[in-house]
């Protein structure tokens, strides 16, 4: 742990080791983030449920990306590529706004392995009305 004299004045954080403009031109997977940047630090310790993404159902509408309050929806080459579990707090907003049938994002217990979660994916149901993850209860949303 650093001592009080070693911190940057004003509690500021610098995200990149190198020149910002240069780093910003790269995809975020290839940037060199500093170890004490808010990108590197995990802020998801309190999550109890996690959203799982099923790319076979996903239509890449990016509703989840628009609504995620923590910028935790990852994308690559125009397609949604998963969840950033270092920053996702498990709020479930992405699941709520997902429009597909069945949903391509569902909430599972935080300890559920991803492979097993994907194996439990529900089938398409005809005439299913859109349900809210929060108001209808249950972490699998159905």
Partner 1 sequence: MASSYHLNGVEAWDGCTASAHALRQAQVDVVAAYPITPSTPIIQNYGSFKDNGYIDGEFVLVESEHAAMSACVGAAAAGGRVSTATSSQGFALMVEVLYQAAGMRLPIVLNVANRALASPLNIHCDHSDMYLGRDSGWISLCTCNPQEVYDFTLMAFRLAEHMGVRVPVMVHQDGFLSSHTVQNVRPLADHIAYKFVGDYVPVHPMFDFDKPVSYGAQAEEEWHFEHKAKLHHAIMESSSVLEDIFNDFAKLTGRQYNILETFDMEDAEVAIFALGTTWESAIVAAKKAREKGIKAGVVTTHLLRPFPFVALGEVFKKAKAVAIMDKSSPSGAMGALFNEIAASLYQVQGSRHPVLSNYIYGLGGRDLTQADLDHIFEELSQDAQKGALTHPTQQFIGLAGPKLSYF
Neighbours of 135 (CB within 10 A): 7
Q: Residue 71, interface with partner 1 (CB under 8 A)?
A: no
Q: Residue 5, interface with partner 1 (CB under 8 A)?
A: yes
Shortest distance in whole angstroms from residue 5 CB to partner 1? 7
> By CB under 8 A, how many residues form the interface with partner 1?
22
Among residues 25, 28, 38, 60, the one that binds partner 1 under rule CB under 8 A: 38
Q: Residue 11, interface with partner 1 (CB under 8 A)?
A: yes
Task: Give dist(CA 36, CA 113) in Å, integer.
Answer: 29
Q: Is 49 helix (H, G, I), strand (E, B) or coil?
A: strand
Task: Give dist(CA 64, CA 71) in Å, integer.
Answer: 10
* Cβ distance to partner 1 smaller for residue 38 or 60: 38
Task: Give dist(CA 98, CA 103) in Å, integer.
Answer: 6
Q: Which residues bind partner 1 (CB under 8 A)?
A: 1-5, 7-16, 19-21, 24, 37-38, 43
């Amino acid at each position: 742990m650093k001592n009080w004299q070693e911190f940057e004045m004003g509690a500021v954080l610098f995200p990149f080791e190198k020149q910002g403009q240069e780093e910003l031109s790269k995809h975020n997977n290839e940037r060199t983030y500093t170890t004490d940047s808010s990108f590197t630090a995990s802020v998801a310790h309190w999550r109890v449920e996690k959203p799982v993404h099923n790319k076979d159902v996903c239509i890449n509408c990016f509703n989840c990306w628009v609504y995620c309050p923590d910028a935790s929806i990852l994308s690559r080459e125009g397609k949604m590529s998963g969840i950033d579990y270092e920053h996702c707090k498990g709020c479930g907003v992405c699941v709520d706004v997902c429009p597909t049938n069945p949903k391509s994002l569902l909430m599972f217990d935080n300890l559920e392995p991803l492979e097993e979660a994907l194996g439990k994916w529900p089938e398409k149901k005809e005439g299913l009305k859109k349900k809210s993850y929060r108001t209808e209860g249950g972490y699998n949303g159905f």
